[in-house]
Amino acid sequence: MVEYADPDLEELSAGQKILVRVGLDNELRLKAKLREAEGACQALERPDLAACVEEAAAALHQVDLKTYRRKIETVVSRLGHLR
């Protein structure tokens, strides 16, 4: 278990702590990939999946990692059926 020396960091939620460890650069890369995935879903004429990716991005922004993961898993699962 990671303990932060800074009490303000220690008070963050588990999701916020993950984003701190990921770092801003990687967080921005992840958000860029989500935008790319949303566009790809639109190009596949799957607005339902694009909306799901958008919801995942919103969940990530709110540091709701449970919802983020569930939305991404839904998209991956549904895209797998297109093969």
Q: What is the pTM of this model?
A: 0.78
pLDDT in tens, 55-77: 999 998 888 989 999 999 999 99
Helix ranges restricted to H, the chain? 7-10, 14-22, 24-43, 47-61, 65-80
| 79 class by beta-carbon count within 10 Å (0-12 exposed, 13-18 middle, 19+ buried) | middle
Which residue ranges make up each domain of the chain? 7-80
| CB contact set of 34 (below 8 Å; sequence gap of 6+) | 53, 56, 57, 60
Band (9; pLDDT cuts 50, 70, 90): confident
Residues in the chain: 83
Residue 27 clears pLDDT 80, i.e. is over it: yes
